[in-house]
């Protein structure tokens, strides 16, 4: 979500700030247009809608004078999303460890640069097989379930029933998994390779 207001949108915000400081009621779209020299109410409505999407304004549906400024803190909070953490995933040798929910991690989706969905989840990294992609033990990887993996993507996968975090590759039409640490071998499925999701972000807590 882009929270940067355009020049004209900043004019709208300044007008609303002035009205609020004066204790005046919120202006109508027509009044905003008259004050700012915007000839069409539809153009004002587009600016207000854009500011609402950016989390800088709030309106009440069906009310003509319901425009309210949103505080910077509230706007920031609207960018914060809680992503469920489903346990840990080995970045080493695969294991048959079951994933269990263990709470959530709060993420500023704008600064991370992702869009979350109902299929977004997170996993804690255990092991050192992905250090070549700067994924370290204790990091949290954000995974999008259902996303089609491309060669080179980092994926959470079940290979022959065991879970692991590796790089997805295809050779001669056959998919396999590669570690990003030379001490670990490639993983070629004997029977089954199930991609549980593609990594879309990496989160590292400061020590």
The Cα–Cα gap between 54 and 48 comes to: 10
- Flag whether the pTM goes above 0.95: no
Does 150 qualify as catalytic in the annotation? Answer: no
- Which residue segment(s) compose the domain that 185 sits in? 79-203
Phi, psi of 88 (to 5 degrees): -115, 165
The Cα–Cα gap between 12 and 43 comes to: 12
111 with 130: CB under 8 angstroms?
A: no
Res 1: pLDDT: 46
122 with 87: CB under 8 angstroms?
A: no
Res 103: pLDDT: 84
Nearest to 189 by CA among 167, 162, 156: 162
Mark whether 83 and 47 lie in a shared domain.
no
The Cα–Cα gap between 112 and 170 comes to: 28
Long-range contacts of 59-64, Cβ-Cβ distance < 8 Å, separation of 24 or more: 64/28, 64/29
Q: Which of 166, 183, 205, 206 is catalytic?
A: 166
Mark whether 147 and 135 lie in a shared domain.
yes
Res 78: pLDDT: 57
The Cα–Cα gap between 64 and 41 comes to: 12
Give the CATH number, domain containing residue 183: 2.10.109.10
The secondary element (H helix, E strand) that includes residue 77 is helix 72-78
For residue 94, count CB atoms less than 10 angstroms from its CB and return exposed for 0-12, middle for 13-18, buried for 19 or more.
Answer: buried
Single residue among 77, 106, 122 that ends a domain in this structure: 77
Mark whether 158 and 192 lie in a shared domain.
yes
Mark whether 101 and 160 lie in a shared domain.
yes
Mark whether 190 and 95 lie in a shared domain.
yes
- pLDDT tens figures, 4-58: 678 898 899 889 888 888 888 889 999 999 999 999 999 999 999 998 888 788 8
Res 97: pLDDT: 56
Q: Indicate the number of domains in the chain.
A: 2
Mark whether 46 and 86 lie in a shared domain.
no
Kindly give the parts of the chain with pLDDT less than 70: 1-4, 62-64, 71-79, 96-101, 206-207
Nearest to 29 by CA among 13, 48, 15, 14: 48
Res 22: pLDDT: 85
Mark whether 181 and 102 lie in a shared domain.
yes
Residue 2 domain flag: no
Residue 61 domain flag: yes
Does 71 qualify as catalytic in the annotation? Answer: no
Residue 118 domain flag: yes
Residue 119 domain flag: yes
Res 112: pLDDT: 79
Q: Which of 88, 126, 129, 163 is catalytic?
A: 129
Res 186: pLDDT: 95
Nearest to 157 by CA among 176, 134, 142: 176
């Amino acid at each position: 979500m882009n929270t940067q207001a355009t020049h004209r949108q900043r004019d709208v915000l300044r007008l609303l700030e002035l009205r609020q400081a004066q204790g005046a009621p919120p202006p109508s779209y027509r009044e905003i247009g008259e004050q700012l020299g915007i000839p069409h109410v539809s153009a004002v409505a587009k600016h207000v809608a854009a500011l609402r999407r950016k989390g800088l304004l709030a309106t009440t549906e069906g009310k003509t004078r319901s425009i309210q400024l949103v505080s910077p803190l509230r706007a920031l909070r609207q960018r914060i999303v809680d992503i469920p953490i489903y346990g840990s995933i080995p970045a080493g040798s695969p294991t048959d460890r079951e994933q269990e929910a263990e709470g959530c991690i709060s993420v500023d989706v704008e600064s991370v640069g992702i869009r979350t969905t109902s299929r977004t989840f997170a996993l804690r990294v255990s092991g050192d097989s992905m250090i070549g992609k700067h994924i370290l033990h204790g990091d949290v990887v954000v995974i999008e379930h259902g996303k089609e993996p491309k060669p080179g993507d980092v994926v959470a996968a079940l290979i022959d029933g065991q879970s692991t975090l590796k790089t997805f590759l295809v050779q001669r039409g056959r998919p396999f998994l590669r570690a990003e640490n030379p001490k670990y071998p490639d993983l070629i499925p004997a029977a089954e390779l199930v991609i549980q999701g593609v990594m879309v972000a990496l989160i590292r807590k400061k020590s």
